[in-house]
Amino acid sequence: MLKPNEFEKVVDDLLFTHSQLLLNGYLHKRVTSEAYGKNIYTWNTLLLSLEKDVILGLDKILDKKFFGGLNSDELRVIGTKISKVRNHFAHINLNEIIHEEAFFKANGLTGSEIIKMIDALKNLFIQNEKNVGSKINVQELFNETTRNIMNDLDSWLKSFKTSL
């Protein structure tokens, strides 16, 4: 059983991963802007970095199988794809690089799948927050983090001279 401070650390990890997903989604909406067109390599590097970090963060959490893990076949399939993509990023496998298109066709993840996984983990943590003796409210933390990350991002984007 997790101790309250361990539980809170795992929730922090999930919140950070959720924040990265929000940032990535919001920035993806701006790829038609003039700023994107002038700085394609920088933007693509940022976007890909966020995408990889979301996968790494989710895989790290899923690897621990907290509270018995996930209870649906759909989530287990998504979890397996997350693990395969994480391994693809983490380990150079020349065969997968040569056949990367086929690899991602078989194992690629959609934004909806990532959101389902984050929601499932969030709900799993909400169900168990009292069992571990934690004093945090997972749902409140998600609401607050979502609000804060979007406000911070808006402020940051407005600081650019070129409209995003």
pLDDT given at position 88: 81
In the chain, what are the domain boundaries? 4-158
pLDDT given at position 163: 60
pLDDT given at position 52: 93
Rg (CA), the chain: 17
End-to-end CA distance of the chain: 46
pLDDT in tens, the chain (164 residues): 789 999 999 999 999 999 999 999 988 887 888 878 888 999 899 999 999 999 999 999 999 988 887 889 999 999 999 998 998 877 766 666 677 777 788 888 999 999 999 999 999 999 999 999 999 999 999 999 999 998 898 888 778 765 65
| pTM exceeds 0.85 | yes
* Nearest-angstrom CA–CA distance, 82 and 117: 10
- Cα→Cα distances 105→6, 77, 99, 137, 141, Å: 36, 14, 10, 38, 35
* Nearest-angstrom CA–CA distance, 115 and 110: 9
- Which three-class secondary structure state does DSSP give residue 71? coil
Instruction: Kindly report, residue by residue over 58-76, the tens digit of the pLDDT.
Output: 999 999 988 887 889 999 9
Instruction: Kindly report, residue by residue over 17-32, the tens digit of the pLDDT.
Output: 999 999 999 888 878 8
Supply the DSSP symbol for 82. Answer: H
pLDDT given at position 91: 76
pLDDT given at position 68: 82
Q: Under a CB-based contact definition with an 8 Å cutoff, are residues 109 and 21 in contact? A: no
* Nearest-angstrom CA–CA distance, 39 and 117: 32
